[in-house]
Every structure is written in C-alpha cells, then in structure tokens.
Structure 1
Amino acid sequence: MALATFEGSQTALRRLAMVLCATSLTVAASFMFATVVQADGFDWLDVVRITLMAIAAFWLAWGGCIAFFGILFPDESHPRSGPVPEGRTAVLLPIYNEATGPVFARLAAIMRSVGQLKAADQFDFFVLSDTTRLEVAEKERQAYEALLAQEGAGGRLFYRRREKNIGRKAGNIADFVTTSGGAYEYMLVLDADSLMEGETILEMVRRMEADPRLGLLQSLPRIIGLDTLFGRLLQFATSLYGPYFARGLAAVQGGEGSFWGHNALIRTRAFAASCGMAPLQGEPPFGGHILSHDTIEAALLARDGWTVRLDPDLTGSYEEAPANMVDYAKRDRRWCQGNLQHGRVLVAPRFRFWSRLAILQGIFAYLASPIWFLFLIASLAAPLAAPAPVYFDGHSPFPVFPHPETATALALLFGLVALLILPKLLLAIRALADGSTAEFGGPLRLLVSFLLETVLTSMLAPLHMMFTCRSVVQVLTGADSGWPAAERDDGSLSFATSLSATWWIVVTGVAGILFSNYFVPELFYWLLPVAVPMALAPVLIWSTASVSLGKATARIGLFAVPADQKPVAVAAEMHNVLNAAATEPAPALVSEAIA
C-alpha cells in the first residue's frame, strides 16, 4: 500500500510538471503572437487568431514535453525472470476480410515461437473471424485446417466465424469473453498484422501474475515489414523516437494508461466485469457501437480500480502499418470518427481524471489539424479586415507609424518550429550519446537519416493536415466511415491514383499561393512552406509510395532500423511459412480426411 501511495504521488508530481511546462510554453507563444498582431491595431479577428494559436501551441508543447520526459525518466525496472505462469492464456486474433495467407503465416510464426517455451501448454490460440465475404471465409477455413494439421495443434488452435459481426472488433472480443473467456486467466489481443515473440508474451504473463491488480499490460509495438519510402520513414521515426515518447507517456500516465487495441495482455475477469459497452444512442457517426473501443476499455478498467500500464521496455512486439499516405489517411478516417465519437462519453461518471484527459487528447489529435487550418485562413483574412493605419492621431503634428514586430514574429516562428523539431533532435542526440547508433546504421547514417526524415515529414505535414481536415468535416456532417478492411499490399501507388486522391489539395494550395500573392503579399513567403507541398501533393504521395525508392534507401543504409541490423526471428519465420506455402503442395485438409 505504501509503495502504491508513493508511486501515485510520484505520478501526480510528474503530471503537474507536465501541465505547468506545456502551459508555460503556450502562454509564452500566445503573448509573443499577441505582440505581433497588435502592431497594426487590434480587432475581433486577432482574438480569434490568438485563441487558435494558443490551442494549437498547447498541443505542440504537450507533445514536446512527453518526449522530454521520455529522456528524463528511465524505464521502470521489471525483473525479466520468474516462475512458469500458472494461469492459462488465450491468444486472440480477430480478423475481418483479410488476406488469408499473411494472416495465418503470422499466426503460425507466433505459435512456433510460443511452442519453444517451457510453458507452451499454457497458451491456446483463437482465430476470431468477422469476415463477411464468403470466398474469404472459405479461404480462412482452409488455412485454419492446414495450420491445424501442420502444427499438430488439435485442442490448442480454434477457429470461429460470426455470421453477424455485431459491435465490430469490440463485439468480436466480447463474444469470445462471454462464450469461452471463463477458461482463461488472461487473453492476449492481436491485430491481423501483429507479430510477437514467445518470450515477450511469456514475460507479459509473468508481470501480470506478479501484480494481482494489473488489469491490462500494453506493449510497445515496433513497425516492421514496409518497403516504400513512406514506410521506411515511418519505421525509422517510430524506432528512433517512439520508445522515448512511450517512456514519457508511461511516466505521466502511471496506472491509468492507454490501450492501443492490440499487442496487449488483459486479465479476462477484469475485462468481463468492467468493459461491457452498450451502443451509444442515435445513428452513426456519433451514435451506434463505439468504434475506437480501446481507449474507453482502458478508462473502464481504471474506473474499477484496475491498473492499466504501458511497459515500453517490452521488446519483441511488432506490427505493420499503411505503406503510403493514402492508405494512412484511410485508416485515420476510421480512427477520426471513433475518437470524435468519444465526445459522447467524455463526461461518463466515475472516470479517472487522466482517463478523461486521454480521451480528450484522442479527440484533439484530430481537431488540431482543422484548428491550424482555420488559423491560416484567419491569418490570410486579417490584413484585409484590418482598419487603415492612422498616421495622425490628433495629439502630435508628426505622423506615427505602426511599430514593426518582425523580430518577434521570427522568434515566434522559430519557437514553434523548435517545438516540432527540438524533441526529435534531442532524441537523435540521445541515441548518438548512448551508443545505440549501430542499430540505425552508425552515427553518420543516423544523422543524415534524421535530417532527411525531418525535411520529408515537414513536407508531408500539410498533406496530413488536409486529409485530417476532410475527415473531421465528413464526421461532423454525418458521414459514416463504416468498417473497411485494411489494405496490406506492397503500398505502391500509380501517379494517377495519387492525383485522384489529392487533386483537391492541389487546388487548395494553388489558391492559397495566388490569394496571398495578390491580396496579402506580406504573407506570401510565410505561406509557402505550407502551400507549396500542397501544390505538389500528387508528386509527394506518388514518390513516397515508391518501393524502388524505399529499397534504394535501404541499400545505402538510410532510415535503417534495428530490424535491418538484426532480423526479427518471428518475422523471418513468417516469411518462411509464406515461402513454403508458395512452393509446396498444401497438406490434406482435416475436413477432406474425415470425408
């Protein structure tokens, strides 16, 4: 009890420090911006701009503080050895209209990794299908029976398909809990693109058995398996910066942490008792079943006194991600609807303060882009709405000119850029200082990769802003994203596809350039870093979706990640399974043998 009280006080102090740090930076940025805009008079549009700036600056400052805390606070120490777990664990693989071969190859690799453990007989595997396409469902059944025969996994591997996928993924998991969950102390929830090492899974079970109040343990999945330039940028950024951001997040969220929906271990009885979610009243997009269920499930567990914890030191947890920006935006569209839907449950009774803050952060992750866009629009409109300068105020025979605030404006600009880049720079310097550069190709390649990643992601940022703005508008106007299956091909795009997906961004960027040039020329050069990438959107999308460019960077050691230097065993096994399936005749199916 004393230890829990100490840890709670420590977490509270960290949270207070985080809020004070982010608030101080926001106040400073807002004051500087107010100084700039009042130079030629002050009107209602300036109030709007200052308000938008303050909100957006707080979001940037918050992210920067999380990264800084990740450097400041080390990983919590957890012993890496322990007895063989006594409780049984169900490994759950929910799928929905997925490419069958890769999904079952990943599952086979995980099963073989777990099979090497002394505690292998404590784990069972469940494929929970919500597939609606009958031809895909048939392929799933065949793949399941083939895997069952290959692994000799009778009594350990199960397949179930729901005829009606009520509640989507959350409903899929809930169906398992109500029908089979009582047989298992723990359940490990995966995604269709998840990969996990057996030792990591075992370690997570050990940690949960060591803490009877631990309701959910979230690992930090590393992104692997992407070959496009966009994918390699994403892998590099998440490998270099992700652990520190996760460490900072873990330091301030304490036992009221996040659930990211996959690669997490859950205490089954805690989930069953706490995480029932009724559909929200009304129609989608704000009503109906909760789409982004994971954040709410974490809040429900914390509300009932269960610890929800993120352990960034858990290695051996992996996932894939969209390999191009178009697919990334499609996934974000679904997440956007789910997170904005959380506004309906933000004031739910008995939620912990940090759980509410996590929900609010998720909402604001998507509102930040429209806020920045509205700020740009207001800044372009402000000079047109400003009153003409008064050179003679009646108190002096000499003209009084507006005081230029160029220096303050530049200082503010550099300050905002620093909030974006400085955390990443500090993390790169930390990698250089602690000797981990070998994992990223060495000091020189790490430095060059950092610079290129910063430039390229800065160019892609306006496009991400526009895609997110469109998603928010669609949700607010009542468009339902549905439940599309994820795209998991190599990620390459034709130029025609890139143009079709971004022509409206091009129009917006060109319009902004022309408008500023003719009506507010004093803002022309300030707008170019945002408008030029928008005008070049198809080229940027198409080129970053190139597999050949991505592989070219790999050949010269740019955007290298630890998985490039030391291949991931479970990923290598997955590829072995895929290669074997492509070259060897399929074994007789169980159903055929019985027939």
Structure 2
Amino acid sequence: MLSHDQLEAVLMRRAGYEVRVLPDELGSWEENPPNLLEFIRRDLRWCQGNMQYLQLLGLPGLLPVSRCQLLLAIAMYVGAPAWLAFMLLGIWREQPVRPDFGLVLLLSVVGMSLAPKLATLVAVLLRTASRRAWGGVPRIVGSALLEFAFWLLTAPVMAVAVAAFLLGLPFGRRVGWAAQQRNVQRIDWQVAVRGLWLQTALGLLLAGTVWWRMPGAFWLWSPVLAGLIGSIPFAWFSAHPAVGRWFVRRGLCRIPEEAPAAAGPGPLRGSPARG
C-alpha cells in the first residue's frame, strides 16, 4: 500500500482500539520535499495509495465510519478531475451552470480549504508564547500571506497532475515508493519544462479559450491561469537556494525550532525539566 495511514487507522478500529488525531507536532519533524516536482511525485504516490482503498471497502468487520473514512480519502483525489471538469463545463456553456450555485460552491470549497489555515493563524496570534516562538506578529502574518500565495499558485498545478495521473491509472501508469528527496535541490529549466509542460500548455489553451468565449470572466480565471502558465518559472524560483536564504534571513515561514534561540529539543512532555 502506497498510502497507509488511513488503512492502519481503520484496521486498528476494527481490532477494538480507539484512534485519535492529535493536533500536536512534537512527535516528529518531517520537512516538505525541496521543490515542486518532488512535491508532485509524493502527492501522486499518495493518490495511487488512496485509490488502492477501493479494494478495501469490502473488508469484513470494518465500522461504517471507517468505510466512510476510506471513501473520503478516495474522494480527496477524485475531486481534482471533478474540479477541472466543472470549470471546463463553464467554458463550454459560456457561463456558469448556475451563477448562484457556482458562487455558493466556490465559497464553500475555498472556505473549507482556508478554515484550518485561519484557525491555526488565530490560535497562534492569540497566545503570547506562540507569537514569540513563531517570530512575532509581522512575521507570522507575512508567512501566512506567502503560504496562501504559494497555495493559490500550486493548487491548479497539483489538480492537473492528479487528474492526468488518474486518467493514466487504468492504462498502467504507476508510481513507486522511492526514497524521498529532502535535501536542498535546485531545478534546472529543462527539468522544469519536462515535468510541467502539460500544466503550461493547458494554461495557455485555457487562457486563449476563456478570452475568446467569455472575456468578461477572464479575471475570475486569473488565479488558475497564473498558476498553470507560470508553473515552470515558479518551480525554478521556489526551489532556488537563494530564495530560501532570503526567507531565512527575514525569519519568514520558519518554525520555532529554526529560531536562533532554539538550542535543540526540550524535555519530553511529562518528564521533569532539569535546570
């Protein structure tokens, strides 16, 4: 299985154990992949793993909520081609399917996506110790805005990658579970072009089509088009070590363990501190 967390959880529930998700990052520290292409590769592995859950829905003894959990994990990736198909349908009709329904759907999806980010931001800002640990209010808010911009640009790139991968699954397309790249790794322009030509081509095609058929709605499409058309330079730029060093010097997007005063891990929770 290429995505095992949900499977382990439902099997533990079947065995009679309770399974809880704790909003606590003290147990592990796992960095993101160092560039957009590695990020996509990891997400496609998770995508293939979640599709493998289709074989497990009929396992005997699973609780109803566990089957629902597996279905939600599958739907998380099926949503990418559904989102693209919904947008293409809007272009074909030269208008939204229903403007009021489309607006409600858009706000609902954006709200669900942003709610965890906003809740975390508020929780950090409301605690004095957290504000200090994360670098102060200006750095926290600036980092949140940068993360939102990165999310806005990468979301359509990831959606196209997942949709293309799902379309290829019935025809034998697969990804393996190779060692993940964690060290700093720049992307050459040629590598970025090979990995993201589909997103760029689709973005240019969509831009021309939207401008031709519904120019008044072009601005609504601009975030999606910017992410797709700019995917190659964005991948190169975001993986450049100089950009990372600039962030480090300004304390942006850092975690408390990266702060200059951090001297290593503190005492384990529940153990007496030694002074």
With normalisation by structure 2, the TM-score equals 0.85
Distance change >3 Å, CA 567–CA 508, structure 1 → 2:
farther
Q: Name the SS for the 2:20 alignment partner.
A: strand
Query: CA shift at 1:360, angstroms?
Result: 1.4
The match for 2:212 among 510, 515, 518 is: 518
Task: Tell me the equivalent position of 1:5.
Answer: none
Any idea what the Cα deviations from partners look like across 1:565-589, whole Å, max 9, x if unmatched?
224349xxxxxxxxxxxxxxxxxxx
Judge conservation of contact 2:165–2:173 (CA < 8 Å) in 1: no
Query: CA shift at 1:517, angstroms?
Result: 1.2
Is 1:568 matched with 2:264? yes
Query: CA shift at 1:308, angstroms?
Result: 2.9
Distance change >3 Å, CA 541–CA 300, structure 1 → 2:
same
Task: Tell me the equivalent position of 1:430.
Answer: 123
Unaligned 5+ residue runs, structure 2? Answer: 267-275
Any idea what the Cα deviations from partners look like across 1:329-370, whole Å, max 9, x if unmatched?
111222211110111111211101222122112212211111
Judge conservation of contact 2:34–2:181 (CA < 8 Å) in 1: no
Distance change >3 Å, CA 413–CA 304, structure 1 → 2:
closer
Task: Tell me the equivalent position of 1:439.
Answer: 133
Query: CA shift at 1:411, angstroms?
Result: 6.7
Mapped to 2, the partners of 1:549 and 1:298 lie a distance apart of 38
Distance change >3 Å, CA 547–CA 423, structure 1 → 2:
same
Query: CA shift at 1:527, angstroms?
Result: 1.6
Judge conservation of contact 1:322–1:491 (CA < 8 Å) in 2: no
Mapped to 1, the partners of 2:10 and 2:105 lie a distance apart of 37
Query: CA shift at 1:543, angstroms?
Result: 0.7
Q: Which amino acid is the alignment partner of residue 199 of structure 2?
A: I
Task: Tell me the equivalent position of 1:352.
Answer: 63
Is 1:493 matched with 2:172? no
Mapped to 2, the partners of 1:497 and 1:312 lie a distance apart of 37
Mapped to 2, the partners of 1:489 and 1:421 lie a distance apart of 29
Task: Tell me the equivalent position of 2:74.
Answer: 363
Judge conservation of contact 1:439–1:560 (CA < 8 Å) in 2: no
The match for 2:229 among 535, 553, 564 is: 535
Query: CA shift at 1:450, angstroms?
Result: 1.1
The match for 1:315 among 26, 48, 70 is: 26
Q: Name the SS for the 1:319 alignment partner.
A: coil
For 1:173-572, what aligned pairs fall within 5 Å after superposition? 290-313=1-24, 315-383=26-94, 413-414=106-107, 416-435=109-128, 436-565=130-259, 566-569=262-265
Query: CA shift at 1:489, angstroms?
Result: 3.2
Query: CA shift at 1:421, angstroms?
Result: 2.9
Structure of greater Rg:
1
Mapped to 2, the partners of 1:331 and 1:314 lie a distance apart of 20
Task: Tell me the equivalent position of 1:397.
Answer: none
Mapped to 2, the partners of 1:524 and 1:339 lie a distance apart of 34
Mapped to 2, the partners of 1:422 and 1:355 lie a distance apart of 24
Distance change >3 Å, CA 323–CA 414, structure 1 → 2:
same
Any idea what the Cα deviations from partners look like across 1:531-552, whole Å, max 9, x if unmatched?
1221111011111111210111
Any idea what the Cα deviations from partners look like across 1:61-84, whole Å, max 9, x if unmatched?
xxxxxxxxxxxxxxxxxxxxxxxx
Any idea what the Cα deviations from partners look like across 1:234-257, whole Å, max 9, x if unmatched?
xxxxxxxxxxxxxxxxxxxxxxxx
Mapped to 2, the partners of 1:411 and 1:368 lie a distance apart of 17
Q: Name the SS for the 1:481 alignment partner.
A: coil
Query: CA shift at 1:456, angstroms?
Result: 2.1
Q: Which amino acid is the alignment partner of residue 324 of structure 1?
A: N
For 1:59-138, what aligned pairs fall within 5 Å after superposition? none
Which of the pair is proportionally richer in strand? 1
Distance change >3 Å, CA 510–CA 548, structure 1 → 2:
same
By relative contact order (CA 8 Å, sep 6+), the higher-ranking structure is 2
Query: CA shift at 1:491, angstroms?
Result: 2.6
Any idea what the Cα deviations from partners look like across 1:72-106, whole Å, max 9, x if unmatched?
xxxxxxxxxxxxxxxxxxxxxxxxxxxxxxxxxxx
Distance change >3 Å, CA 342–CA 433, structure 1 → 2:
same
Runs (4+) of structure 1 exceeding 6 A deviation are: 405-409
Mapped to 2, the partners of 1:357 and 1:337 lie a distance apart of 18
Aligned residue pair count: 263
Judge conservation of contact 2:210–2:218 (CA < 8 Å) in 1: yes
Distance change >3 Å, CA 432–CA 543, structure 1 → 2:
same
Q: Which amino acid is the alignment partner of residue 232 of structure 2?
A: P
Unaligned 5+ residue runs, structure 1? Answer: 1-289, 387-404, 571-595
Mapped to 2, the partners of 1:350 and 1:480 lie a distance apart of 30
Identity of matched residues, %: 28
Q: Which amino acid is the alignment partner of residue 223 of structure 2?
A: P
Distance change >3 Å, CA 409–CA 467, structure 1 → 2:
closer
Mapped to 2, the partners of 1:432 and 1:528 lie a distance apart of 31
Query: CA shift at 1:378, angstroms?
Result: 1.0
Distance change >3 Å, CA 568–CA 355, structure 1 → 2:
farther
Mapped to 2, the partners of 1:475 and 1:310 lie a distance apart of 31
Mapped to 1, the partners of 2:83 and 2:263 lie a distance apart of 40
* Greater Cα shift, 478-487 or 342-351: 478-487
With normalisation by structure 1, the TM-score equals 0.41
